[in-house]
């Protein structure tokens, strides 16, 4: 049975206009990435994970993750930590910044997160995980979602015992990436677990893992009963895959379209992060955008060697002169930066790219 991916659905009182969710990805999901995802069909976009400890201590870089533009909604801001009280306070802050949904990370397998008792580690401490969800749900006043893995170890089915308890504690939706923390991103996502979780809970379940095409999205939705699918790595430098999944449009982008999207992404990222941070941050994106046979490999290597993002933009215009008109159209559609929600407690230098 074919699922209409353009059909809206609800996370409690928040309407999600399509059944495609853009994943929260550390070092990727900056504002420019999220806004681009919305343009290409993502019904819900998510911030990269934000440290609740960083928010508590008013860390300038952490606070910088909380800038929100009007074209991002509906938006989930993801937080991580291990202390219910601190997580609750972080939830209040991200809601004040404009989050429509507070997402809790119980899935990150990276050592620097799990060693603090956060991320996927909490799947083996269900009582604490439930206490966190309860505290965040009480503090937030907006729907709370939880993103988790199947468990810490290969073959684990912990998600099936913990998931229903998280819903009882106040989670309005669950996202399951059915790989273990030990697997990281190797092997295949076992969506039979997603189907089992759907049967156990009475809230929407989002299926994450190996969603790389419309055919795969349709197969996972049909076999699991999930409300939506989440796309992550497949959308890195490739927003056109979102359009293909939602609309079934198989047409790949022209060189001019690729260059135009990358130029706008570069400029918006510099506006958000400042030239110094953005210059290093963007290097991985050049390969993601220009790969897949879109541009010669030496051109990608040339961009990485350039010292400034202005030089990168100049070379892209030279390589695809027709991109200029497309860039003008894209930038005309961007909202005024003055419309962003700014928290009074944030250092002003964040918004100047400091």
Are residues 305 and 157 both part of a single domain? no
Among residues 247, 263, 282, the one where a domain terminates is 247
pLDDT in tens, 118-140: 888 999 999 999 999 999 999 99
Q: Is residue 52 annotated as a catalytic residue, yes or no?
A: no
Among residues 247, 280, 304, the one where a domain terminates is 247
Are residues 169 and 267 both part of a single domain? no
Q: Is the pLDDT of residue 353 over 50?
A: no
Q: Which residue has the tokens 């699991």?
A: 224
Are residues 206 and 291 both part of a single domain? no
Euclidean distance between CA atoms 321 and 317, whole angstroms: 5
Q: Is the peptide bond before 74 cis (omega within 30 degrees of 0)?
A: yes
Are residues 94 and 27 both part of a single domain? yes
| Domain enclosing residue 41, as ranges | 9-247
Are residues 84 and 101 both part of a single domain? yes
Give CA torsion, residues 125, 129, 131, 137, to 10 deg. Answer: 180
Structure tokens at 137: 């749900």
Q: What is the CATH number of the domain that holds 172?
A: 3.20.20.70
Are residues 238 and 261 both part of a single domain? no
Contact between 314 and 31 (Cβ < 8 Å): no
Of 227 and 185, the structure prediction assigns the larger pLDDT to 227
Are residues 237 and 268 both part of a single domain? no
pLDDT in tens, 217-265: 999 999 999 999 999 999 999 999 999 999 998 888 999 999 999 999 9
Are residues 222 and 91 both part of a single domain? yes
Per-residue exposure over 180-191, b if at least 16 CB sit within 10 Å of its own CB, e if not = bbebeeeeebbb
Structure tokens at 163: 């998931």
- Give the pLDDT band (50/70/90) at residue 341: low
Give the DSSP letter of residue 64. Answer: H
Are residues 186 and 100 both part of a single domain? yes
Among residues 198, 219, 247, the one where a domain terminates is 247
Euclidean distance between CA atoms 138 and 295, whole angstroms: 50
Work out the mean pLDDT of the chain and round it to a whole number. 92
Identify the active-site residue in 46, 52, 108, 130. Answer: 108
Are residues 73 and 199 both part of a single domain? yes
Mean predicted confidence (pLDDT) in 110-119: 87
What residues contact residue 183 under an 8 Å CB cut-off, 6+ apart?
109, 154
Cα dist from 72 to 62, 269, 297, 334, whole Å: 19, 15, 33, 11
Q: Is residue 309 part of a domain?
A: yes
- Give the pLDDT band (50/70/90) at residue 344: very low
Give the pLDDT score at 354. 25
Ranges 3-12, 73-82, 107-116, 332-341: which has the least confidence:
332-341
Stated pTM of the model: 0.92
Q: Is residue 350 part of a domain?
A: no
Q: Is residue 95 part of a domain?
A: yes
Q: What are phi and psi of 73, to 5 degrees?
A: -75, 145
Are residues 164 and 219 both part of a single domain? yes
Q: Is the pLDDT of residue 39 over 60?
A: yes
Q: Is residue 321 part of a domain?
A: yes
Q: Is the pLDDT of residue 142 over 80?
A: yes
What's the domain count of the chain?
2
Q: Is residue 142 part of a domain?
A: yes
Angle at which helices 84-97 and 126-140 pack, to 10 degrees? 40
Structure tokens at 118: 């956060």
Mean predicted confidence (pLDDT) in 30-35: 95
Euclidean distance between CA atoms 229 and 194, whole angstroms: 11
């Amino acid at each position: 049975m074919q699922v209409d991916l353009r059909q809206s659905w609800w996370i409690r009182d928040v309407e999600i206009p399509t059944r495609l969710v853009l994943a929260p990805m550390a070092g990727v999901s900056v504002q420019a990435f999220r806004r681009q995802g919305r343009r290409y069909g993502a019904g819900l976009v998510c911030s990269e994970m934000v440290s609740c400890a960083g928010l508590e201590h008013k860390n300038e870089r952490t606070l910088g993750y909380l800038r929100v533009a009007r074209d991002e909604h509906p938006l989930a801001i993801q937080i991580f930590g291990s202390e219910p009280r601190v997580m609750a306070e972080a939830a209040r802050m991200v809601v004040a910044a404009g989050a429509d949904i507070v997402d809790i990370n119980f899935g990150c397998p990276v050592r620097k997160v799990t060693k603090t008792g956060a991320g996927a580690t909490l799947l083996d401490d269900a009582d604490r995980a439930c206490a966190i969800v309860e505290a965040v749900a009480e503090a937030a006043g907006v729907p709370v979602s939880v993103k988790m893995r199947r468990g810490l170890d290969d073959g684990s089915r912990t998600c099936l015992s913990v998931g229903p308890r998280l819903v009882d504690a106040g989670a309005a939706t669950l996202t399951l990436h059915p790989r273990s923390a030990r697997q990281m991103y190797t092997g295949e996502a076992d969506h039979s677990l997603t189907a089992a979780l759907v049967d156990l809970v009475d809230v929407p379940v989002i299926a994450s893992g190996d969603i790389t095409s419309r055919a795969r999205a349709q197969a996972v939705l049909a076999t699991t009963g999930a409300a939506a699918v989440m796309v992550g790595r497949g959308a890195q430098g490739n927003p056109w895959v979102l359009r293909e999944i939602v609309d079934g449009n198989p047409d790949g982008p022209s060189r001019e379209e690729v260059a135009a999207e990358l130029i706008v992404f570069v400029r918006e990222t510099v506006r958000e992060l400042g030239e110094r941070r953005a210059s290093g941050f963007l290097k991985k994106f050049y390969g993601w955008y220009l790969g897949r046979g879109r541009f010669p490999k030496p051109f990608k290597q040339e961009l990485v060697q350039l010292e400034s993002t202005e030089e990168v933009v100049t070379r892209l215009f030279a390589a695809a002169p027709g991109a200029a008109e497309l860039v003008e159209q894209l930038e005309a559609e961007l909202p005024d930066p003055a419309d962003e929600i700014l928290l009074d407690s944030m250092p002003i230098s964040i918004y100047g790219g400091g």
